[in-house]
Structures are given as C-alpha cells and as structure tokens.
Chains A and B, each alone.
Chain A
Amino acid sequence: MKIVILVMLLCYSFAFSSGDTTIHTNNWAVLVCTSRFWFNYRHMANTLSLYRTVKRLGIPDERIILMLADDMACNARNEYPAQVFNNENHKLNLYGDNVEVDYRGYEVTVENFLRVLTGRHENAVPRSKRLLSDEGSHILLYMTGHGGDEFLKFQDAEELQSHDLADAVKQMKEKRRFKELMIMVDTCQAATLFNQLQSPGVLAIGSSLKGENSYSHHLDSDVGVSVVDRFTYYTLAFFERLNIYDNASLNSLFRSYDPKLLMSTAYYRTDLYQPHLAEVPVTNFFGSVMETIHTDSVYKAFSSKTSNNKINSEMPVNQLSEHDELQKANIPNDELKTEKQKCPYTQMRVDLHEKLEKFENVDTVVNLGIAVMVFVVMISSSLL
C-alpha cells in the first residue's frame, strides 16, 4: 500500500514539475482605475483603498503598479487638496504622504495596460513602470471603472474587451509571468469580463453578474460625489479587520459578500483555479506573506541550482503528504487533473512539426494538402 502511495506521490510530483511547480516567492499587485473626470472620484477612491490595503498587508511599493486615470487629489474641484477619502467620516486620507503612482492621466490606456501585463515595453521604460513578475509570483489585478457586457471602458474613450484580457492572461501564462493570478473587477456586469479566460491558475471575482449594475455606496456631501463603490466598500470592510498575520481564507472573503448589501451578486470564477479556496489565505494575493524554508546550510538554497530544484520538488510533496492522509480518495482524481495539464494540444503540435520536418519534397505535401481540401469540400457539400 505504501509503495502505491509513494508511486502516486512521485507521479504527482513529476506531473507537477512539468507544469507550475515553482513555489510562491513574491507578490505583485496591478491596481487600475480606468475612469477620468471628477464625477468618477469613487473609482479612484476604490483603487487607492485597495492600494492602501495591499501595502498594509506587506506588498512594497516597487511591486505595486498603480494606474490612475485622472488626478483627483489635486483636482481644482477637490475641497480637500492632496487628500482622497473613501468614507464620509474623513478619518482616513487615502492619499497619505507616500503614494507612488506609476501610470497616470493620459498614460492609462488599454495599450499600456496590456503592455504592463505582458511585459512588452520599450527599452527606455523604467523598472518602476514594469510588472517584473516571474513564475513564482502571485498577482492581484484589480480594476474599477465603467464597464458593460464583456468590456471595460478606459478613460471614456476606449475599451478593454474580455478577449483582450483573456489573451493577455494567456500570454502571461505562457511567458511564465505568474503562478497564480487573481482578477478582481468592480464594474457593472463585471462577471462578463471573465467569460473568455482559459488559463490555469486564474481566479476571478467580479462585483456583479451579467445584467446587473454595481452601485456606489454612499455620497459625501462635502466632497460632493459618491466616494466608494459597494463591492469595494465591503471588500475593505473585510480587510480592515485583518492584519498581516491573519489566516483568513479566500472562502471567507467570498462568503462575506451579501447580495442584499451589494445590491448585486458577486461572482467568482474558480474553475481555472485548483487549490481549495478554504485553504488559501487571502494574504496569498492581497498581501505578501512568504513561507520560510529551512535549509541545512546557509545561503546554499540561493547559490546552487540543484538545491533549488530540490526545494521545488519537495514542496508539493510535503503539502500533499499532509493532504493525502485526510483524503486518500482524492488522489487519483488529482492525478487525472494533472495529466490534463500536460496539454495534449502542444504535444500534438510538436509531433506534427517533427513529421513535417521529415518531408523532403514540400510540393508533394502541398499537393496532398490540396487533395485533402478537395476531399473536405466534397464531404461538406454532400452534407448540405
């Protein structure tokens, strides 16, 4: 019996090493406010609230890409210069003394947003404006603004479509720019923005379902506009109770959304995300809490590659050994899933490519292809 389990564990670890085996090493956050103009004050307040939260929970400024589409803090209409509030009690100035905005004003465009995600920048772009994540990164992508069915408006001038987002995420996955990605969107019909996502390791939360609006929470009569959206308000209400050492799970965050209070139904897309939500602490995305690994010798883990691999392969095994004693029945299931991860499509493509290269006469291949096409045309026309 033990041997069987061992073999299974080995299989598991191997399958895992072909996919995303790396351990979680760092956290990044991309926070985007896509709305221009003063009446969209609440969107900037939303983004800055999240900024404050992730900073408080341990993500440093150099790992946060903050995009603000307009200047609200020093806007001429702002009664409180250099201050932004997300509550009418004005207890907390979100703009503080230490805000680093990476993209602002006209720079917040769909192009720049996709460039940040995919990492395709001009050479001159400084490091502070790049998302320098790697395959061990957990990324939080928060977006707020005005949206609709499968799109999100940028600056009231252009749109990010759900296909664009899905393409960018897919590219990120292929470039190994993240281990896990959490997309949180607070717009109207936010759930539709996730429709096209298909990359593994992506978790998505939207503030509302298709056909639903996301509403603002309350109006500040001194500032003169609404200062926060409901979904973000209740997200913050959840996080304000936490500190960096808390172990609250994502599940508890998801459960904290009450459709009656939100006036919309929060939507979670978890089918691309493997770990059990009840076991994932929120600080995996909203903070930067690293696991400490004990090594026998000092600095060896960083100096040599072999030991690094050892850790990588050991980690899932360790995690699983705790796991399997609880749910032995689940293991074959897991194996099935991981086999899927080998991606039959890429394998097929590689095989095809190899075969193609063996051909000496390209013309015959082309002719054969035409013959096949004729055949296909025949079949399709006969079906008509």
Chain B
Amino acid sequence: MACLVRSWIPLLFLQSFLVAIAFGSNEGEEFSEELLLKPLPDRKVLAHFHFENRAPPSNSHGRNHHLFPKAISQLVQKFRVKEMELSFTQGRWNHEHWGGFDPLSSMNAKPVGVELWAVFDVPQSQVDISWKNLTHALSGLFCASINFLESSTSYAAPTWGFGTNSDKLRYGSLPREAVCTENLTPWLKLLPCRDKDGISALMNRPSVYRGFYHSQRLHLSTVESGQEGLGSGIVLEQTLTVVIQPETTSVETNMQPSWSLSSLFGRKVVGSCVLAKSSNVYLQLEGRLGHESKNVDTEIEAHKLWMNSDFDLSLKPDRVIRESSSLLFIFDIDKSSDSEPFDLGLTWKLPSKWSCEQAPLHASRFLMGSGNERGAIAILLKATESQEKLSGRNLTTDGRCTIKANIFQIFPWYIKVYYHTLQIFVDQQQKTDSEVLKKINVSPSTDKVSSGMLEMMLELPCEVKSAAISIEYDKGFLHIDEYPPDANQGFDIPSALISFPSHHASLDFQEELSKSPLLSSFKEKSLVRSYTEVLLVPLTTPDFSMPYNVITITCTIFALYFGSLLNVLRRRIGEEERFLKSQAGKKRGGLKQLLSRLTAKIRGRPIEAPSSESPAAESSFLSSKLIFKIILVAGAAAAWQYFSTDK
C-alpha cells in the first residue's frame, strides 16, 4: 500500500502542477470566449464571436505572459497606446434588416476595408511618429497594407466628431484593402487556443468568407491600475461578426430557414478551450417571440420557451434571460466532448416575421454631378420607423424635440472640397447654417500633404422626414507616380461616420450578468453610430504609356539629329576621298582600267579597288593635319589650365 501511495505522489504532484499551469498561475490573466447567434429578419443568421483577454497591471519589470499575447502587449508598451481599434471588414451592414439601434450594430458595423484609430499616451509632438510606427507594426502583424496609413494624406486627427474626445487620437481607413484568410490567421494566433479548440474552431475559412458580411475587429484598451509602481492592465477584445445565409431546402419563401452550427460553418464545437474562464454560446431571438410568454416561472413554461409551436432548439439551454424585446438562451459548452459535440440547431415550424430596431436616421451618401472636373457629395439622412418612438425623449431647454447627429468625414486631398458650398436641406427646404448646424469643425486639405476633415453637429427637429447635406468639390490632379496600378477603377472616398450623441444603445437585461464580458459590454450604453457607403470617384487618368511615347519620340528626334549631323560630317571626307579616287583613276589612264576589268571578268571576281596605298597616304596626310590641330587645341587648353591653377 505504501508502495502504491509512493508511486501516486509524484503523479499527483505532476497533475497539480499541470493544473496550476492551466489555471492557477495566470496571475489574473483572464480569457473568455463567447459566441452570439442571432437569426435576422431577412432569413440570414448573424454569428458574433467575442474573445476577451485581460492582462492585469504589470510591475515595472514587465509582464509574465501566460494567456495574453506578447505581441500585443509589446505593441502597447512600445508605442504607448492608450486605446486602439483595428477592423477588417468586407460587405455592407444592412441597417434596415440587421439592426441599427443595438450595441451589436453600433460596435460591429464597420466601414469596408481597414479602419484603424488609436489614442496615444505620448506628448503631443510624438503622436504622429507613434502612429506611423504603429501602422507599420500592425501591417507586419496582420499581413495587411496598414502601413499605407502612415502618410499624412491618409489619416486625420478628429477632435469631437468621432465620439472619443482626445487630442491624441488618430484615425485612418483604407477602403480598398482586401480582407482574407491571411488577416484572420494572425488574429486567431493571438488567442490562447488559436483555432484549434473551443469556439474559434468553428471558423472554417470558406464559410466565414462566403458570408454577406464579415468584420474582424481588435479593440484594446489600457486600464490604469492607480497604484504606485504598477503599470497599466490591458484589455484585448477580439470580435468576428459574420452574416451567413443558411442553405435551405424549403420552397416556402416566408419561412425562416432552419440551421445548425454544423450547417452554417461545416464544423461543430468539441469542447471548450481549456484556458478560457468561460465559454458560452448565446442565441438571441428578437421581436415578437420575446413578448409571447411573459412568465417563465414554472419548469414547463421554461421548456415552452425553447420547444414550442414556433421553433425548436436542438439543445436544452442552461439559462434563459429576457430582455425588453428579445429572448436570450445561454448554453455552456463545457459539457460538450468529442463523443457529444455541441451542435446547436434551430428549426422553425411556423413562418415568423419581426423587425430590428433602427437608428433614428438612416444615412446614405452619394455623388452628384458628372464629368471629370467637379462634382458634389451628398449625405442623405432619412427618418426610420423607430424615430417616432424616440421622439419626445430629447427635449432641449426651450422645449423643442431635437435629434442630434454628428457627421465625421475625411476627404483625400485630391477631392478638393469647397466648404463654403455646404448646403443643408431639411424636408427639401434649404436651411441656413445657424438653424440646424450646432457646431462645425473643418480642417482643409493641403495638396499632397494632408487630407481634409469635416466634423459637423446637426440638430434636427424630431419630426424631420429627411435631411440632406451637399458639398461641392473639384477633382485634383495626381502626379503620374501617384496613381495606383488600377487607376482606371477610380478612387475611394472613405466612409463617413454618422453618430447620434444623444442616443445610446444598450440591452436591458433584468438579471445581473457580471460574468460574461460580452453581455456586460452589451449592457453598457454605447453610442449609436453608422457608417455610410464608400464612394468611388473616377479621376482623370492619364494615358500611362505617354511617358514611353515621349521617350521614344525624343529618342527618335535625337537619333535623327545626331545621325544626320554625323552623316554630314562624315560624308565630306568620303566625298573628298571619292574625288581623289576618281582623280587617281583618271591619272592611271583608260588602258589600265580596261585591263583590270578584263582580268576581273576572266577570274569571275568583282573589280578590285584601285590600290589602297594612295588613300592611306592621303588619310595619313589628313590625320597629320588633324593631329596638329588637336595638339594646338590641347596645348592651349593645358596652358589655360596651368595658368588658371597657378593664380
């Protein structure tokens, strides 16, 4: 028995050691993985992956990295980043059907391409340098051309229009940037389990990129510890939002498609990431469904929530939470295993319809005018259904109901905007600036040096049906080297950001949910914001073969000039030679010539040139003359050189 115990002790030690590595020794580093699934009214499914990694404040010696990615913490340390957000997006968020007034859309509906903003904790003079270095570091880290944001023509420093008020904020976006696997892979490598285990194992690349919309976001913020000698903690939030169309076999068009995780992603979840503190899957059902059953007191009622006449869930939820307009089913995936993988499915039995809550105004942007010289940009704000509900909430001091809207827009320098042409129409009537424009901040662009930026705060009456803002611009000319290889495609103007500072979106859970970072972030009030479309402006593009044409024609002219000059110079000597030859021939007499012709005919050869002695003699005579001249010139030059250096 003793023997047995003895052999067990080391094993136990080992086990406890391993457990300590896995859980104990993280010293407060916390990682959690969550997935929110949400059927959308237009027969699509939204999947929102949320990973949060928290690193506690470190001491002055630096940080011990267990779960937190070292690359990110070095980034924060080196460039002194206070807050940063980087997003890679393809597709356009459909505000009408996918929602515009919930925390999910206000945080994860991002402009197409790459968007980066960062707040630095450095002296004002060093912010731009830090930004430049940060863009390069991120481009290496995420395999993208983020380094194009380093040039001062591509970023701006918003003051208040962006929503974050800081003079150390820099913002830039690259609308044309491609987003693909190579961006997702390094992003996944920041997770402790990568894409090998847990919820992230669902991310099958083809199914993610087949989606209508995918946005991969990385948000990091530093948390000041407030204690002496301690640095700041870092919170790294990584989200991936995908909108997928489930494949359906049913012919009925008004029936919502049924789906399961394996049908959406082609994979199942087999167990959680062991390093995660919590791994949960949420299913959010919106609209009519939420209101149906009010009391969930009894077990039978609760059962009815997830297996009723409308729909079936393939798994029993661990908890059900009600929100003001939706139901939230919570699943803990810890229980799943290889033999029993977690494969949540939703089967609809009856056709159902609901709508998402929308932002007070729906924004869209378009170009006006034609031709390659000038044009105008218009931003149209249209009232949505939800506006009526919201009206009455935002009374100003004088009793008027107003909607505030901030517009933030960056113009590349080659779009030369005339700010004095700004016109505002409310319900098709032109308004003077003082009526609706509360605040405006303009920083004009400088050619090839900096981009232009426009920040506006509009205060519109609540009953507004539509508001339009238009501004005229001239198209600039680029240098031939500045055109991209596909210049004929046109140039992109980055999305404008419309935010509603007096509206905040949040989910209102009745229960306390401090455990889940995703839900607690939803519970916080977030600014309602939406991005407009990217505009494609065709600029005048030169004929790129023009330089070659110029080079060719110049070369031809030069060749002709020098060629003919040389020819003229040479021909004179030739003529002299011919003249001398003919003279020599004459001297020789006709008899000799006839003889030589005869001999040539007999031999079958062309006539031999008259003996080469005489031209050689002539040329030597010529060259001696030439040599004399050259020596004279050279001597003069040498003398000149000699005397000039002496003095």
Residues in chain A within 8 A of chain B (CB atoms): 36-37, 71, 73-75, 80-83, 95-102, 104-107, 122, 124-129, 155-157, 363, 366-367, 370-371, 374, 377-378, 381-382, 384
Q: Are B627 and A381 in contact (CB under 8 A)?
A: yes
Q: Are A371 and B631 in contact (CB under 8 A)?
A: no
Q: List the A side residues contacting B176 at CB < 8 Å.
A: 105
Instruction: Report the separation of the CA atoms of residues A157 and B139 in the bound assembly, to the nearest whole angstrom.
Output: 24
Tell whether B450 is near chain A: CB-to-CB under 8 Å: no
Q: Are B645 and A155 in contact (CB under 8 A)?
A: no
Given contacts A82-B208, A363-B645, A370-B641, contact A128 B181 (CB under 8 A): no
Question: What are 28 A-B contacts with C-beta separation under 8 Å?
Answer: A74-B179, A82-B208, A82-B210, A95-B180, A96-B181, A99-B182, A100-B182, A100-B185, A102-B140, A104-B143, A104-B145, A105-B177, A105-B178, A106-B145, A107-B147, A122-B136, A126-B137, A126-B141, A127-B140, A367-B641, A367-B642, A370-B638, A370-B641, A371-B638, A374-B638, A377-B630, A381-B623, A382-B627
Tell whether B576 is near chain A: CB-to-CB under 8 Å: no
Tell whether B484 is near chain A: CB-to-CB under 8 Å: yes
**Which of the four size classes fits the interface of chain B?**
35 or more
Q: List the B side residues contacting A105 at CB < 8 Å.
A: 145, 176-178
Given contacts A363-B645, A381-B630, contact A156 B485 (CB under 8 A): yes
Tell whether B195 is near chain A: CB-to-CB under 8 Å: yes
Further 20 A-B residue pairs, CB within 8 A, beyond A83-B206, A100-B186, A126-B137? A36-B486, A74-B178, A80-B206, A81-B210, A82-B206, A82-B208, A83-B205, A95-B181, A99-B182, A100-B182, A101-B143, A101-B182, A105-B177, A105-B178, A106-B485, A122-B136, A129-B140, A366-B645, A378-B631, A381-B630
A158 to chain B, nearest CB (A): 8
Instruction: Report the separation of the CA atoms of residues A307 and B205 in the bound assembly, to the nearest whole angstrom.
Output: 49
Residues in chain B within 8 A of chain A (CB atoms): 90, 132-133, 136-137, 139-141, 143-145, 147-148, 150, 176-182, 185-186, 195, 205-206, 208-210, 484-486, 544, 623, 626-627, 630-631, 634-635, 637-638, 641-642, 645
Q: Are A100 and B90 in contact (CB under 8 A)?
A: no
Q: List the B side residues contacting A122 at CB < 8 Å.
A: 136
Interface of B is mostly: helix
Q: List the A side residues contacting B630 at CB < 8 Å.
A: 377-378, 381
A327 to chain B, nearest CB (A): 48
Q: List the B side residues contacting A125 at CB < 8 Å.
A: 136, 140, 147
Partner of A374, one of B90, B195, B637: B637
Closest A residue to B132 by beta carbon equals A124
Listed residue (B143, B177, B208, B637) with the most chain A CB atoms within 10 angstroms of its CB:
B143
Q: List the B side residues contacting A156 at CB < 8 Å.
A: 485
Instruction: Report the separation of the CA atoms of residues A339 and B435 in the bound assembly, to the nearest whole angstrom.
Output: 88
Instruction: Report the separation of the CA atoms of residues A79 and B642 in the bound assembly, to the nearest whole angstrom.
Output: 79
Closest A residue to B138 by beta carbon equals A126
Instruction: Report the separation of the CA atoms of residues A275 and B50 in the bound assembly, to the nearest whole angstrom.
Output: 55
Q: List the A side residues contacting B626 at CB < 8 Å.
A: 381-382, 384
Q: Are B140 and A128 in contact (CB under 8 A)?
A: yes
Closest A residue to B208 by beta carbon equals A82
Partner of B485, one of A71, A155, A367, A382: A155
A-B pairs with the 8 shortest C-beta distances?
A126-B140, A71-B178, A155-B485, A74-B180, A124-B136, A157-B485, A81-B209, A374-B634
